[in-house]
Amino acid sequence: MRHLYVNGSWTPSTSGEVVNVINPATEEIIDRVPAGTRGDVEAAVAAAHAAFPLWSRMAPAERAKILADTADLIRERAEQIATVIATDLGAPYPVALKTHTLMPAGVLESYAQMAGKPAEESRAGTALILREPVGVVAAITPWNYPLHQAVCKVAPALAAGCTVVLKPSELAPLAAYALADALHDAGLPRGVFNLVSGRGPVVGEALAAHPLVDMVSFTGSTRAGRRVAALAAETVKRVALELGGKSANLILPDADLEKAVNVGVAHAYANSGQTCSAWTRMLVQWDQYDDAVALAVAAARKYTVGDPFAEGTRLGPLISAAQRDRVIRYLNLGQEEGARLVTGSTDYPLERGYYVEPAVFAGVAPGMAIEQEEIFGPVLSIVPFGSVDEAVEIANGTPYGLSGAVWAESEERAVSVARRLRTGQVSINGGRFTPAAPFGGYKQSGIGRELGEQGLEEFLEIKALLL
């Protein structure tokens, strides 16, 4: 049984109730975390509020050292943390180690470097422009990248001089506990970081509405993001939202079709498709459409589902029975809409665990639910287009704008098309994700940015001294 981390120590929740943590590969209870209460939130926010003056005035080099030491501790404990993530999330162990554990350690290190620099000042006429920490930050994070998403909020907030109350998802909360342990062992002062586990309608909503919380940074569904923003608006606090996506992988006729399709399938199925930035729509010109479908089917069939710790497993389970059933509903809906399920099945591939076979839809038309709505599973829709203008229109034709890709023979041509996409991040000819680049979306994919210098700026207020 876990406890809450409040004001520098592990303390029981006032509720005495727990949330069971389920291993999605075995459907067994592996741990229990407290079901936090509004009273727990009050205690955590009060601790963060009291710690803010000292932490915000601490020398940048001291804050930087704590973050750097935390990154080192996560690297030292990487195998243990990856085992935890592979167990409560279901990610294959090699992915849990590299993507879910070592990448967040790198993000922490990058913000340690930024924290060590003096706060930026500038001049505007006779005014001196300062940047100061926003205050107490409520960080509400999802289950799909349980350590990475927490670090993407906690690290820049602490680097900026803010204090934090973290509410992890109750579905995969254990990595957040590993982060709390590392911060504690790195010597973070009491109250600067607090962790309150529990359910969103209780803990998350209490944080979003709390008058002493100066900013809410939320990652999750667009529906939940609207609720968080509405609650935060009552006290006019700053809000950063990283929400859903339905990203397009646009393959122009002169691109390397085989490479573009194979990389696109891999990106669509990353983390069992439970990735907000997944390229779940593949856009291919009519002349190449049949070839692209055949290539995608061949690639998809190489993604073996299985035990996250078994050698050769490329797709772990989905996070829950509810998520598995949601994906299967979309597989049925896509066929009802007239799309062809050219690989994949609505049957359970294994007797135990929340698994779904990797799926590819052909014959997908713009406007179909499977082309418009975020499914959050290993499901790829292949959409044909005629002209480049039509492809851009299709790519921009959803309520989302989080990520995407453009493939062309030349980088110049791909960039010219990418500039026309209404989305926050675009991969050019397979350009890889880098934590140094800002991440966030247009439209209903969110407000604000994470990662890089822009991610740090989200946690800073601007003050003008009129001299």
CATH 3.40.309.10 location in the chain = 248-435
Q: Is 162 one of the catalytic residues?
A: no
Supply the pLDDT for residue 47.
Answer: 98
In sequence order, what are the beta bridge partners of 464?
129
Q: Which of 109, 152, 170, 276 is catalytic?
A: 276
Q: Is 411 one of the catalytic residues?
A: no
Supply the pLDDT for residue 103.
Answer: 97
| Contact call for residues 354 and 321 (beta carbons, < 8 A) | yes
pTM: 0.96
Q: Side chain identity at 73, as an amino acid letter?
A: L
CATH 3.40.605.10 location in the chain = 4-243+444-466
- pLDDT mean for each 10 residues of the chain (467 residues): 94 95 98 97 98 97 97 98 98 98 97 89 95 97 98 98 98 98 98 97 97 98 95 97 98 98 98 97 98 98 97 97 98 98 97 97 98 98 98 98 98 98 98 93 97 97 96
- CA dist list (Å): 396 to 351, 390, 441: 40, 10, 12
Supply the pLDDT for residue 282.
Answer: 98
CA 384 to CA 287: how far, in whole Å? 9
The CATH class given to the 248-435 domain equals: alpha beta
Q: Which of 109, 170, 205, 242 is catalytic?
A: 242
List the 215-219 sheet strands across, edge first: 9-11, 4-6, 193-195, 163-167, 136-140, 215-219, 238-242, 446-447
Q: Which CATH number fits domain 4-243+444-466: 3.40.50.720, 3.40.605.10, 3.90.180.10, 1.10.274.10?
A: 3.40.605.10
| Contact call for residues 200 and 80 (beta carbons, < 8 A) | no
